[in-house]
Structure 1
């Protein structure tokens, strides 16, 4: 009689729960509440100066997309920048192939042993493109300029759907490679509170509350006159709250900052040639 012994299986460890400190740090800080009479004016986002389309691969090519940016004009701009990068790639490969051919044959050219210059240029371009697909070349490669160059489409807020549409348009073409990245950017808002508006409202409310309290404290006696009645505890508490409201409003008005920093979502679509 053979008895089979079951081998004990190792216990699987459950992932540890995140600590409270990390969970609190991941929460986004909410902006403080503003009074209803405050107006917020948004400043334009700051970004680096747009580089020339004929600049080298060391300078990043960026196309900023807004809600009113025409779709086809932005697409044509990206295609033009990519064509110029491909042109720089061919020029750099031509220079590199000529240098190698000159070093190989020295000064005299022999018909039998001479290598085809056009073939060398084509091989240099193909090798650069192959390295670019694998990821071996970057934008700052010293050998072949323009091999890893890419054009960026950037949009924030309501312009993000339009940037996604442009990325899908390039992704449907076989000659382009598309990479999507997300991030955030800081924006500055100006807060303007009109002077005198909160104080006028508070003075009117205070006067109205005093008139109502005086009416409540007066009662009519049997002879038709008025008799003062001592206020109750609820009336005293209500008066205290009415007096505290203008003070709280004044303190809130003093604590309102002139500017505040707001973070917006940024979508970045990188387009490059295959």
Structure 2
């Protein structure tokens, strides 16, 4: 009989504690009753009603748009910062630059949001931009916040790379920018994808920064849900949250499947290469080939 240890029990309870609220959320998204705490039977009318809720769907589209552009900008800026910190070990101000890059990781979002708000107000008074806060200011704030996460992820990958491959390419005449795009970027592609997905999720989930730097007509999904929950949870919110869980689950499954498929291909290629190397050493008969003795003059 298999015995369960205390660690397995804690793991099961932890997973149960994390995923049980999500299951309850999905179940109540099919509730017939408008009251969330009262079960009135199964129905999909709240999913159909999302098509008529232009305010909520507009917030969803704005959040997806900001998250998409934030992921692109954060990956670009974070990768450049990580490359500077790993490939240029010594330069004046390196410690300060590294601290500025990683500061958003430990800085409370309230302070970051307030600082950005004061910055945008001062810039509007000095140069006239931004004239009003909106999606652009939210995008700038989210990019500032997410670039730190991308930099940390990419730095961890860059420190593990073998520099001899890049040095060999430069010895053969390749320019540094060509080495970066054709050799370095493909090798750090998994970390770039991870940083992009992390930035997308953080931007889609952010409420504090968006509350400080948003303006009229720039309400994101977390802001819309937070303002609606203050008056009571609506069934449409459960439906939107369930759809987001579905999309995230599908994206996670696709990423896992593609990663597993790539690992299998790599293992198969390594196995075939080892078999070919064995055949080259053993010869066609399967026995080790013997070199002929040197001819005596």
Normalised TM-score (structure 2): 0.25
Query: By percentage of residues, which structure has more strand?
Result: 1
Normalised TM-score (structure 1): 0.27
Query: By percentage of residues, which structure has more helix?
Result: 2
